[in-house]
């Protein structure tokens, strides 16, 4: 393996211009961080030349189509080509830091699962042949397919029909290893049930995870996925929900800890009348890569979706990525959708990528909007707040807390909201050092 240094490109003339990771004179450089030794690093600019020509968005045998609908999905690992880092859905991810999740058999011990659930909820550990596996999800990328090929057992959580839970189902996934592993979780909200499931990821792990979420007709389900890993963890998580008729799904991602976290929540409407909310909060510190890719597939008429992800970044090489895909298919008349990402950059040396993608195949919709804004908290903000008597540390916290609080408030579980508020405070306190 040859030593590949991170390609730092120049902007403008070849003089002493500032370097920005991932950019060349010609614009954005596709994944310069991804030369992982297994694939020859592109010698010319990746935006031109052979490497770009060979690239298809399908990443495999799928339709080489720029539409999200054309992306390859398969339960078979071998259908997905080896990753080069140039794929549309991997171009921001530092593959070298995936610790083999995309290349190795995931034979390590998966994070241990412990569930505490209110009465009525069924919790089972099942084998690969359980017929509920595969009901809501199908891998959309190689890392997810790798987990699908390698998981040994799955945890299935069922909220029974017409049951309203009076407290949350708490699932703790505790990692205690550094070998690449595979995890599988299935959550089923049966007809007209109401419930909330919290997936708490903690400890140290290198894990690719598939979470399947089934909302039967009329079900209301909130799933909160907390990534509070130790600093050395690597986590790829494909969380796919199938939304039944008139069902309401709320999904909240909170990513705070881990070396590399890549969560890809997908919601697919299987029948008309469904509602989906995808919310996310992330706080990247120095060196952390936190990536979220949301996808709402409006394949049915008269469904509503709303996506809001908010992130804060501080410290050298803190990197966040948000890519939001919304596809409104031809038959999805009466769709109402919106997606937004906002980032707050607190210090120099951070990078926030934000890409809202909206595909609309019918004009007969209620609404479709997308927005993205990345701003920085700078010295003038600080001066303004301090000129009103507010000490510097309080000012900083005020801004970040206020910014992220919008997501925390969506959770509606006071104890959890409090815990997350404290977690955000800890992140801020760490930034003060």
Partner 1 sequence: MSTLEIKDLHVSIETEQGTKEILKGVSLTIKTGETHAIMGPNGSGKSTLASTIAGHPRYTVTSGSITLDGEDVLEMSVDERARAGVFLAMQYPVEVPGVTMTNFLRTAKTAIDGEAPALRTWTKDVKAAMQELRIDADFAQRNVNEGFSGGEKKRVEILQLELFKPKFAVLDETDSGLDVDALKVVSEGVNRAHATGNMGTLLITHYTRILRYIKPDFVHVFVDGKVVEEGGPELADRLEEEGYDRYLSGAGAAVAPAVQA
Residues forming the site for partner 1 (CB under 8 A): 344, 375, 377, 379-381, 383-392, 394, 398-404
In the complex, least distance from residue 349 CB atom to partner 1, rounded to whole angstroms: 19
- Nearer to partner 1 among residue 113 and residue 400 (C-beta): 400
Residue placing its CB nearer to partner 1 in the complex, 308 or 328: 308
Q: State the DSSP string of 56-97.
A: -TTSBSS---SSGGGS---S-GGGBPPP-S-STTTTTS-GGG
Q: Which is nearer to partner 1, 172 or 386 (CB)?
A: 386
SS percent in the chain: helix, strand, coil, step 5: 15, 40, 40
Residue 376 or 419 with smaller CB distance to partner 1: 376
Do 323 and 358 form a contact (C-beta atoms < 8 A)? no
Q: Which is nearer to partner 1, 129 or 379 (CB)?
A: 379
Query: Closest distance between partner 1 and the C-beta of residue 344, in Å?
Result: 6
Nearer to partner 1 by Cβ, of 205 and 385: the residue is 385
As measured in angstroms, the least distance from the Cβ of 198 to partner 1 is: 25
Closer to partner 1 by Cβ: residue 270 or 346: 346
Residue 388: CB minimum distance to partner 1, A: 4
**Three state DSSP letters for 335-357:** CEEEEEEEEEECCCCCEEEEEEE
Evaluate whether 113 touches 173 at the Cβ level (below 8 Å): yes
The Cα 269–Cα 276 span in angstroms is 9
Judged by beta carbon, residue 19 or residue 383, the one nearer partner 1 is 383
DSSP 3-state of 330: coil
Residue 389 CB, nearest distance to partner 1 (Å)? 4
Q: How far is the CB of 346 from partner 1 (least distance, A)?
A: 11
Helices 379-386, 392-408: axis angle to 10 degrees equals 110
CB 59 within 8 Å of CB 71: yes
The least CB distance from residue 340 to partner 1, in Å, is 14
Residue placing its CB nearer to partner 1 in the complex, 303 or 400 = 400
**Minimum distance of partner 1 from residue 382's CB (angstroms):** 8
Q: What is the DSSP string of 7-37?
A: -EEE-SSSSSPPEEETEETTEE-S-GGG--S
Secondary element (H or E) of residue 260? strand 260-269
Query: Whose Cβ is closer to partner 1: residue 49's or residue 391's?
Result: 391
- Residue 134 tokens, joined: 């595969």
Please state, in angstroms and as integers, the Cα–Cα distance from residue 61 to each residue in 71, 103, 251, following that order.
9, 18, 30
- Exposed (0-12), middle (13-18) or buried (19+): which is 331, by Cβ within 10 Å? middle
Which class for 258: exposed (0-12), middle (13-18), buried (19 or more C-beta within 10 A)? buried
- Looking at the DSSP bridge assignments, the partners of residue 281 are 254, 310
Shortest CB 1 distance to partner 1, Å: 43
Least distance from partner 1 to the Cβ atom of residue 406, Å? 9
């Amino acid at each position: 393996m040859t030593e590949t240094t991170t390609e730092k490109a120049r902007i403008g003339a070849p003089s002493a211009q500032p370097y920005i990771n991932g950019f060349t004179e010609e614009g954005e450089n596709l994944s310069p961080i991804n030369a992982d030794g297994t694939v020859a690093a592109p010698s010319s600019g990746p935006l031109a030349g052979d490497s770009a020509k060979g690239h298809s968005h399908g990443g495999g045998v799928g339709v080489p189509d720029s539409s999200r609908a054309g992306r390859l999905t398969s339960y078979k690992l071998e259908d997905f080509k080896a990753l080069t880092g140039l794929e549309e859905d991997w171009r921001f991810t530092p593959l070298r830091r995936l610790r083999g999740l995309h290349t190795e058999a995931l034979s390590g011990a998966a994070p241990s699962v412990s569930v505490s659930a209110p009465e009525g909820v069924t919790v089972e550990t099942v084998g690969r042949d359980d017929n509920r596996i595969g009901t809501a999800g199908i891998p959309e990328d190689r890392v997810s397919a790798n987990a699908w090929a390698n998981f040994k057992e799955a945890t299935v959580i069922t909220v029974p029909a017409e049951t309203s839970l009076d407290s949350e189902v708490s699932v703790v996934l505790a990692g205690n290893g550094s070998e690449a592993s595979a995890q599988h979780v299935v959550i089923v909200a049966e007809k007209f049930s109401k419930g909330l499931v919290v997936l708490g990821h903690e400890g140290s792990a290198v894990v690719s995870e598939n979470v399947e979420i089934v909302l039967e007709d009329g079900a209301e389900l909130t799933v909160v996925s907390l990534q509070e890993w130790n600093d050395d963890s690597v986590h790829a998580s494909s969380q796919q929900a199938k939304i039944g008729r008139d069902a309401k799904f709320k999904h909240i991602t909170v990513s705070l800890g881990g070396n590399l976290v890549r969560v890809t929540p997908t919601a697919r409407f299987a029948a008309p009348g469904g509602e989906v909310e995808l919310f996310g909060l992330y706080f990247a510190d120095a060196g952390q890569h936190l990536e979220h890719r949301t996808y709402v597939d409006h394949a049915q008429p008269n469904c509503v979706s709303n996506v809001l992800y908010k992130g804060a970044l501080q410290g050298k090489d803190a990197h966040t990525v948000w890519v939001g895909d919304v596809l409104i298919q031809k038959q999805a008349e009466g769709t109402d959708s919106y997606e937004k990402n906002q980032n707050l950059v607190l210090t120099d040396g951070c990078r926030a990528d934000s890409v809202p993608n909206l595909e609309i195949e019918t004009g007969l919709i209620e609404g479709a909007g997308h927005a993205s804004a990345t701003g920085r908290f700078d010295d003038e903000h600080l001066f303004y707040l301090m000129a009103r008597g507010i000490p510097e540390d309080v000012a900083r916290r005020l801004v970040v807390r206020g910014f992220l609080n919008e997501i925390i408030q969506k959770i509606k579980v006071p104890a959890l909201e409090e815990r997350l508020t404290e977690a955000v405070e800890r992140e801020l306190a760490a930034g003060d050092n």
